[in-house]
Structure 1
Amino acid sequence: MDEDKPLHMVIHSPRRGSTNNDGDDPPSEEVVVEISLVTKDSSYKKMNSQKFGFLKQVLGPSFLNKGFFNVVILGFSFFLLFAAFGTTQSFVTTVRKSEGFVSLSILYAVFAFSNFFAPSFCQLLTPKYACIIGALCYCLFVFAAGFESTVLFYSASVVNGFGAAMVWCAQGTMITQSAVVAQNKVKKSQSNDESGKKSVEVMGLFSGVFFAIFQLNSIFGNSLAGALFGAGMSNFQLFLILSIIAVVGVGLMLAIRPISKSEVEDIDEEKAPTDEPTYGAIGGSYFNKIIHKIKVYFTEELSGQAKQFVALLKESILVLVSPKMLVFSVISFHSGFGSSYFTGSLPPIVGKTMLGWVMIMFGITQVSGALISGKMLDKIGKRVTMIFTLVIYCIAIALSSQMVYWGKELKDNKLDESFNAPIYLLFFVNMALFGLSDSFLTNTIYGILGSKNYYKKKNTAEAFAAFKMTQSLSSAVGFFCGIYLTVNTIQIIIACSYVACLIAFFILEKFVAPVDCEKKKKPTALLI
C-alpha cells in the first residue's frame, strides 16, 4: 500500500426518517470516510519540500539557473584573481616597505576618482567585458611587483586603480542582475502556483555566496605564499606564480553567461516599447554597404555612445551627491580606512614569518562571515545585521591596541619566550575578528545598495561606483598615513572613524532612508 495515499472506508448507516412497510430494517446509506495515514517518512518529505522549496525556485531543478551560475563563476574567478592580488597587497608593505605603501596609496587614489567614469564604461562595454578588462589590470600590478623597478611598479598601480573601478562596478551590477533574474523566476513560479505568497529576497543570499567563494582567496593565497617563502623562493618567483593564478581567474570570467535587458525587467512593471533605429535598404555593391556601415558608426552610433557616456557620468555625480549617499559615504569611508588598517598597518606588526598563517585565519573568518551575514540579511533584516557588525568591529578595534603593544614588545625582544604563544594567539584572534567584521560590513553594504527598495535599478551601478569611490579614497588615505604616521596615531583615527560610522548609520536609519523599509506604491483614488 502507498503510505502517502489516503485510505477510503465505506460505512453503512441507516437512513434517518425512513421506514419499511414490512417492518424490516430501513435501507442503509453508504458514507465514504477518507482517512489520511501520515507516516513519519511522509511528514519528513513534506518538511524537506518546504525547507528546500525556496532553493528549488531560485536555482531551478538543474541547479544551473543563469543568475546563480553567474554568481558562482564570478565568485571563483574573483577567488583566483584576488588570491594573487590580496597576497601581493599584504606582502608588499612588508617586503618593499615604503614603496609598498606609496604604490597602494596611488592605486586606491586612482581607483577612487576612476569610479566617476566606471559606470559609463561598464554600460558601454557590458559588465562582463568591463570586468575582464579591469581584471587584466590587476594581473599587470601583481607581475610588476616582482621587479625592482619603482617606475614600473608605480605605473602598474595607476593602471590597476583604473581597472579596479571597472571590476568592482561591474561586479556589483552583475550580482544585482543575477539576483533579479532569480527573483523574477520565483515570481513566475508563484504566480502559477500560489499568487498570494509573499515575494522573496535573494540579494543577501547571492552576495553571501559570492563573498564566501571570493574570500577563500585569503586562505589559499596566504597558504601558498607562506609555503613558497618557506621553500626559499625569491620575491620574483613568488609574484610570477601569483600572476599566473590571476590570469587563470581572468580566463574563468569568459564563462559568465550574458543577461539581456528583458531578463532584469521587473515582471510586475509594464514594458514600454523601445524604438530601435532602422536603416533603409542600400542598393549597390557589397563595398558600398560597408562604407555605409562605417558612416553610420561615426555619424550616429559613435555620437550616441558619447551622449550616453556623458549622461551616465551625470547620473553618477547625481547619485554621489544625493543626501542618501552623502550620509552613506561615512560608512563607506570607515570600511575603506579599516581595510587599509588591517591589511597595511597591522601586517608589519605580525612579521613576515607569521603573516601568511595569521592571514589564513583572517580568510577563514571572512568566508564564515560572508555565509552567515548573507543568511542574516534575508532572514532578520539589514538593520540588525549592521548593528551586530558594528559590535564585532568595536571589539576588534579595542583588541588591536593590545596587539600593537605586545607585538612591538615581541619584535624588540623585550619579552621572555614563554610570552610568545599567548601573543601569537592574540594575533590570530584579533585578525579573525577583523576578518569577520569586514565580511559582515561589506556584505551588509552590498545588501543595502543592491536591494530593490533602496536605489532604482537603473542607478544600481552608480550607487556601487559611489560606494567604491569613497571606500577606495579612504583606503588610499589609510595607506598614505601608514608612511608618515605611527600605528598608534592610526588607531586613534580609526576609532574616530568608527564613531562617525555609528552616528551616520543612526542618521540614515532614523531620518534619511531606513534600510529595511520597503517602498509601497500609493493606492489610486477611486472616484465614486
Structure 2
Amino acid sequence: MTPEGKALSNIVILGFGFMLMFTAFQTCGNIEQTVIKSLNNFTASGYTSMSIIYGVFSASNLVAPSVVAVVGPQLSMFFSGLLYSAYIAMFIQPRVWSFYTASVLVGFGAAVLWTAEGNVLAINSTDTTIGRNSGLFWALQQFSLLFGNLYIYLAWQGHDHISEKDRQTVFISLTVISLIGCFLFFLIRKSDPSEPTPSETSEAPLHTESTDDSVSVSGSLCTQALDAFVKACKLSVSKEMMLLSLPIMYTGLELTFYSGVYGTCIGAMTRFGHNAKGLIGMSGLLIGVGEILGGGVFGILNNNRLGRNPVVLLGLLIHYLAFYLIFLNIAPDAPQAPEEGTDLQAYMTPK
C-alpha cells in the first residue's frame, strides 16, 4: 500500500474508533441526569459531573501534549479511551464516590485523547489532504450521535420510569461499544522508518531504534515532555488564542447544553406524554443529523470568496433561532425537575 493509501486508511480507522467511543459516551452524557434521577438514595448530580469533566479537561490541556510526546499518540488514545469506558461502566452499579472519581479521570483522559487525535491527523495529512481528512474524520465521528440515541429512542419509548434492568442493559451495551472503539486504535499503522509520512515528518524519537543507553532515552523523553509543555503555554497566551478564547468558551457552553441539559429537559416534560423519555434519544439523534448536515453545508460555504465571516454569522443566526425555540418550548423548571417530571409549560404547548 502506498504511503498516501496507508494514511487514508489510518484516518478512516481513527474516525471509526472515535465513532464507537462517542456513540457510547455522548449517549451516556445525554441520558445520565435522567438516569440519576431514577436512582434511589443517589445524591450525585449529572450536571456536577459534567462541570468536573470539562473543568479538568480544560486544565489538563496544558500537560496533555507532554503525555502524548512521551507515550505516543496510539497508546495515549487507547488508555484515554479506557477511562471513557470506565466512566460509562460506572453506571452499571453507580456509587457517588466512583461517579465523581471517574469524572475527574475522564476529564484528564479527554485532554490526552483529543491532543493525540490531532497528532495522528497531522501525521497522516499534507497541506493538500488535511481538509479532506478533517472532513472525513468529522463525518465519521459525528455519526456517533445517531446510533446510540436511536437505540435509546426505541428502547425507552413509552417508559415513565427507568428501571434497574433498563439502566444496566443500556450501560453494559455502551461499555462494550466503547471498548471496541479503544481497541480499533491498535489498527492504526505507523509509517516504516524508510518511508516519509504524508506530512513529511516522522514519529517522535521513542518510536525509532536508538543506541543510546537508558539514561539518555529517559533524558530525551523528559526534554520532549518539557518542550511540549512550554509550547502549549506559549500558544495559550498568543494573540490568536486570546482572540479565539471567547468563541471557544461559547462553544463550550453550547456543547454542555446540548449534550447534557437539553435531553434532560425533554425527558422531564410530562406534557410530551409517555414518550418523553424516548424523546431524549430522538433529540440526540436529530442533533447528530444537524451536526452532519451542518458540517457539510458550512464546509461548502467556507470555500467561497467571501471568507469565513459570513459562515460564522450564519451559524450565529441559526443558534439564535434554535435557542429561542427552546425558550418557547421548554418549561423553566425542566432542568431541575424531579424524577416524575414537571407539568409546567413555557410559552407554547410542547409537541
Q: For the superposition of Structure 1 and Structure 2, which TM-score range results when normalised by the shorter chain?
A: 0.7 to 0.9
Tell me the CA shift for residue 395 of structure 1: 2.0
Partner of 1:239: 171
CA distance in 1, matches of 2:221, 2:7: 28
CA distance in 2, matches of 1:278, 1:254: 23
Aligned residues of 2:50 and 2:103 also touching (Cα < 8 A):
yes
- For the residue of structure 1 that corresponds to 2:124, the secondary structure is helix
CA distance in 1, matches of 2:77, 2:344: 49
Corresponding residue to 1:213 among 126, 132, 140: 140
Structure 2 segments unaligned to the other structure (5+ residues): 38-43, 202-207, 268-276, 335-340
Partner of 2:217: 301
Partner of 1:388: 314
Larger Rg: 1
Partner of 1:466: none
**1:90 counterpart letter in structure 2:** N
Deviations 1:211-257 (A, max 9, x none): 11111111101111233335974212211111001011112121112
Q: Does 1:158 align with 2:80?
A: no
- For the residue of structure 2 that corresponds to 1:116, the secondary structure is coil
Q: Does 1:377 align with 2:337?
A: no
Tell me the CA shift for residue 406 of structure 1: 8.6
Corresponding residue to 2:284 among 359, 371, 376: 359
Partner of 2:190: 258
Tell me the CA shift for residue 378 of structure 1: 4.3
Inter-CA distance 210–374: structure 2 relative to 1 (3 Å threshold): farther
Partner of 2:95: 149
Tell me the CA shift for residue 266 of structure 1: 5.6
**TM-score normalised over the length of structure 1:** 0.55
Tell me the CA shift for residue 95 of structure 1: 1.5
Aligned residues of 2:152 and 2:280 also touching (Cα < 8 A):
no
CA distance in 2, matches of 1:260, 1:160: 33
Aligned residues of 1:119 and 1:316 also touching (Cα < 8 A):
yes
**1:334 counterpart letter in structure 2:** Y
1:122-201 matched pairs, under 5 angstroms: 122-180=68-126, 183=127, 201=128
**TM-score normalised over the length of structure 2:** 0.80
Aligned residues of 2:122 and 2:130 also touching (Cα < 8 A):
yes
Tell me the CA shift for residue 126 of structure 1: 2.1
Tell me the CA shift for residue 148 of structure 1: 2.5
CA distance in 2, matches of 1:407, 1:82: 29
- For the residue of structure 2 that corresponds to 1:220, the secondary structure is helix
Aligned residues of 1:207 and 1:374 also touching (Cα < 8 A):
no
Deviations 1:154-207 (A, max 9, x none): 111111111111111111222233231xx4xxxxxxxxxxxxxxxxx4433322
Tell me the CA shift for residue 149 of structure 1: 0.9
Deviations 1:353-406 (A, max 9, x none): 321112211111112222333333345554443233222222222222112249
Aligned residues of 1:177 and 1:259 also touching (Cα < 8 A):
no
CA distance in 1, matches of 2:332, 2:227: 54
Partner of 2:21: 81
1:507-526 matched pairs, under 5 angstroms: none
Inter-CA distance 141–277: structure 2 relative to 1 (3 Å threshold): closer
Tell me the CA shift for residue 125 of structure 1: 2.0
Partner of 2:338: none
Inter-CA distance 407–106: structure 2 relative to 1 (3 Å threshold): closer
CA distance in 1, matches of 2:12, 2:210: 38
**1:307 counterpart letter in structure 2:** T
Provide the alpha-carbon RMSD of the alignment.
2.9
Aligned residues of 2:85 and 2:179 also touching (Cα < 8 A):
yes
Aligned residues of 2:49 and 2:99 also touching (Cα < 8 A):
yes
Q: Does 1:403 align with 2:329?
A: yes
CA distance in 2, matches of 1:371, 1:323: 29
Partner of 1:315: 231
Question: Which of structures 1 and 2 has the larger relative contact order (alpha carbons within 8 angstroms, sep 6+)?
Answer: 2
Aligned residues of 1:94 and 1:348 also touching (Cα < 8 A):
yes
Aligned residues of 1:84 and 1:221 also touching (Cα < 8 A):
yes
**1:336 counterpart letter in structure 2:** G
Report the number of matched residues.
315
Aligned residues of 2:152 and 2:281 also touching (Cα < 8 A):
yes
Q: Larger deviation: 105-114 or 230-239?
A: 230-239
CA distance in 2, matches of 1:160, 1:407: 29
- For the residue of structure 2 that corresponds to 1:234, the secondary structure is helix
Partner of 1:442: none
Partner of 1:93: 33
Partner of 1:330: 246
- For the residue of structure 1 that corresponds to 2:92, the secondary structure is coil
Aligned residues of 2:56 and 2:107 also touching (Cα < 8 A):
yes
